[in-house]
Amino acid sequence: MTLWSIFRSPLIFGGDLPSSDAATTALFTNEEVLAVDQHSSGGHQALDRGNIRVWVANGATPGEHYVAVFNLGESSEEVDLRWGDVGLILKAGKARDLWKHEDLGKTDGVRVPLRAHASALYRIQSE
């Protein structure tokens, strides 16, 4: 769902809504992730480094950006990403993990372990 959101793809659910478990429902009702799909612009791949791919998009407000990190490999990867690596011109920004609903504070990038085929999605707000 991370790629579909930053790519601004139409989001269609093909399951049985009434019998969806809480984890499944949380995936497609995450308002912060849905905002990426509905209000971002200019989403594109910005980094291709081994098994790691990173997409970026502009947010709806000035200085707001979205960063999606993907591990396409068959094993876990430790990702160390600076905003400049993906073309964002800012020394530090307030970062938020949109899947975990967790503020990461002011940072110049992210360091995240990603399982095989996992992803992470962040909102970055420059100050």
Domain CATH for 16 = 2.60.40.1180
| Domain residue limits at 97 | 2-126
Predicted pLDDT at 93: 85
Of all residues in the chain, the percent with pLDDT exceeding 70 is 100
Split into its structural domains, the chain has a count of: 1
CB-based burial of residue 98 (10 Å sphere; 0-12 exposed, 13-18 middle, 19+ buried)?
Answer: buried
Predicted pLDDT at 102: 97
Contact 69/120 with Cβ under 8 angstroms?
yes
Dist. CA 22–CA 107, nearest whole Å: 32
Predicted pLDDT at 15: 82
Predicted pLDDT at 30: 92
Dist. CA 40–CA 57, nearest whole Å: 6
pLDDT tens digits for range 2-51? 999 999 998 888 888 889 899 888 888 899 999 999 999 999 999 999 99
pTM of the model: 0.92
pLDDT at 105 over 90: yes
Return the H-helix or E-strand segment holding 96: strand 93-97
Contact 57/42 with Cβ under 8 angstroms?
yes
